[in-house]
């Protein structure tokens, strides 16, 4: 059973605390993604699980094995943790052929030649590199080199794979293709995958569950991709998962009003005692009209982006991004020009206490 269990894991370098008291459980067979901004401690966490570093405090279990425990000093070396690792830099040996790169871990482990050859060829086929086994890495594309790294991580038949931004050096098309391949491999091999990335789209596309870390290395939310995107727990999460609009709203008596301008809020009201609120919504959740119910705004800038129109709308001093399907805009007389008045309504919104806004810089 390739589960991962972190309990109270911290990692410090001198005075600098990167991770603090982290608790996390990854289930067997799961594709679990750690998503967070650059520099938040994702690679450090992966290196702790892999065993390239030891936690300053806390413990790590893989399956039933305690592989690291700061309290007792237990630390199991990386090659005894039954896992494969792929890092962002291709990290394949430039002087070795594809075959030798992939076979290296088996050679180290003393696997007899005959078995080695069959396992290497099997793994090379698995990552779609058949026919290329005699090539040197310099004779391969970036995507192929990363497949070599994948094959080398898989050849020992680990039950756990740790992937650290393995696709970020690839171009957009290849990145998309390879993320499906990784998912397919995971199902085919029935392994547990822990994937680390700063890319929201990849995380949403491949994960069974996602843990989102903030810039300080703290986990802010764990959930399915749908939960993370549709039910963000706070405004940090909402902001982190895509283009975000925030509209300040204040309570006066039993009424709710927008910003300082005083337009009454025409939508369902927030539940709670706070006075200062913020309505958070995506550009695609804005309905823009020429008249009818909604908030009055002014189109400050209209940009034609092909499939959709990107309007920057001002409502009482707050600027909002909206995106309208171009065909719909043409059919419904919604091709606004700069300076025209408009009405703004929302399909979907999240209410957050305005106090939480400070940290997202909105």
Ligand X SMILES: Nc1ncnc2c1ncn2[C@@H]1O[C@H](COP(=O)(O)OP(=O)(O)O)[C@@H](O)[C@H]1O
Query: In what order do the strands lie in the sheet containing 286-289?
Result: 286-289, 341-346, 295-304, 308-315, 318-325
The smaller minimum CB distance to Mg ion, of residues 168 and 260, is found at: 168
Are 261 and 315 in contact by the 8 Å Cβ rule? The answer is: yes
Is 43 among the residues that bind Mg ion (CB under 5 A)? yes
Residues in contact with ligand X, counted by CB under 6 A, come to a total of 11
Q: How far apart are CA 222 and CA 201, in angstroms?
A: 16
The smaller minimum CB distance to Mg ion, of residues 43 and 248, is found at: 43
The smaller minimum CB distance to Mg ion, of residues 55 and 217, is found at: 217
The smaller minimum CB distance to ligand X, of residues 44 and 111, is found at: 44
SS3 call for 205:
helix
Residue 238 φ then ψ, to 5°: -60, -45
Minimum distance, C-beta of residue 41 to ligand X, in the bound complex (Å): 4
Place of tokens 């007389």: 333
Minimum distance, C-beta of residue 11 to ligand X, in the bound complex (Å): 8
Are 28 and 2 in contact by the 8 Å Cβ rule? The answer is: yes
Q: What, of Mg ion, ligand X, none, does residue 223 touch, CB below 5 to 8 Å by kind? A: none
Minimum distance, C-beta of residue 13 to ligand X, in the bound complex (Å): 3
The candidate with the shortest Cα–Cα distance to 12, out of 62, 56, 43, is 56
> CB under 8 Å to 237, separation ≥6 — which residues?
212, 220, 221, 228
The smaller minimum CB distance to ligand X, of residues 40 and 278, is found at: 40
Q: How far apart are CA 23 and CA 194, in angstroms?
A: 15
- Residue number closest to Mg ion, CB atom: 43
Minimum distance, C-beta of residue 35 to ligand X, in the bound complex (Å): 10
Structural tokens at position 71:
């309290």
The smaller minimum CB distance to ligand X, of residues 16 and 95, is found at: 16
Q: What, of ligand X, Mg ion, none, does residue 147 touch, CB below 5 to 8 Å by kind? A: none
Site for ligand X in 16-55 (CB under 6 A): 16, 18, 36, 38-44
Site for ligand X in 162-181 (CB under 6 A): none
Residue 24 pairs in a beta bridge with 6
> How is residue 140 annotated by DSSP?
S
Q: How far apart are CA 187 and CA 29, in angstroms?
A: 8
The smaller minimum CB distance to ligand X, of residues 34 and 278, is found at: 34
Taking only Cα atoms into account, the Rg of the chain, rounded to an integer number of angstroms, comes to: 25
Minimum distance, C-beta of residue 196 to ligand X, in the bound complex (Å): 7
Q: What, of Mg ion, ligand X, none, does residue 278 touch, CB below 5 to 8 Å by kind? A: none
Residue 35 φ then ψ, to 5°: -115, 130
Q: What, of ligand X, Mg ion, none, does residue 39 touch, CB below 5 to 8 Å by kind? A: ligand X
Q: What, of Mg ion, ligand X, none, does residue 52 touch, CB below 5 to 8 Å by kind? A: none
- Please report, as ranges, the residues that interact with ligand X according to CB under 6 A: 13, 16, 18, 36, 38-44
């Amino acid at each position: 059973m390739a589960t991962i269990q972190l309990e109270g894991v911290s990692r410090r370098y001198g005075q600098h605390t990167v991770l603090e008291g982290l608790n996390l459980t990854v289930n067997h067979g799961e594709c679990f993604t750690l998503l967070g901004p650059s520099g938040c401690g994702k690679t450090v966490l992966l290196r702790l699980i892999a065993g390239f570093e030891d936690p300053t405090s806390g413990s790590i279990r893989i399956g039933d094995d305690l592989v690291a425990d700061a309290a007792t000093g237990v630390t199991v070396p990386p090659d005894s943790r039954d896992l494969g690792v792929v890092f962002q830099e291709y990290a394949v040996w430039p002087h070795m052929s594809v075959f030798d790169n992939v076979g290296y871990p088996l050679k180290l482990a003393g696997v007899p030649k005959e078995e080695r050859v069959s396992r290497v060829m099997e793994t090379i086929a698995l990552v779609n590199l058949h026919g290329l086994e005699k090539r040197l890495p310099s004779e391969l594309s970036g995507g192929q080199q990363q497949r070599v790294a994948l094959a080398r991580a898989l050849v020992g038949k680990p039950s756990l794979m740790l992937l650290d931004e393995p696709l970020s050096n690839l171009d957009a098309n290849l990145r998309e293709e390879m993320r499906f391949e990784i998912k397919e491999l995971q199902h085919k091999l029935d392994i547990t995958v822990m994937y680390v990335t700063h890319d929201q789209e990849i995380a949403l596309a491949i994960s069974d569950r996602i843990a989102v870390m903030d810039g300080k290395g703290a986990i802010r939310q764990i959930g399915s991709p749908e939960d993370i995107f549709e039910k963000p727990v706070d405004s940090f999460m909402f902001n982190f998962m895509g283009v975000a609009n925030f509209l300040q709203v204040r309570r006066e008596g039993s009424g709710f009003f927008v910003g300082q301008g005083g337009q009454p809020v025409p939508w369902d009201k927030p539940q709670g005692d706070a006075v200062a609120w913020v309505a958070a919504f995506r550009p695609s959740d804005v309905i823009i009209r020429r008249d009818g119910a909604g908030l009055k705004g002014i189109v400050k800038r209209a940009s034609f982006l092909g499939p959709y129109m990107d309007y920057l709308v001002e409502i009482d001093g707050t600027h909002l991004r909206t995106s309208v399907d171009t065909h719909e805009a043409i059919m419904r007389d919604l091709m606004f020009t700069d300076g025209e008045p408009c009405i703004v309504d929302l399909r979907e919104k999240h209410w957050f206490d305005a106090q939480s806004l400070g940290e997202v810089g909105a």
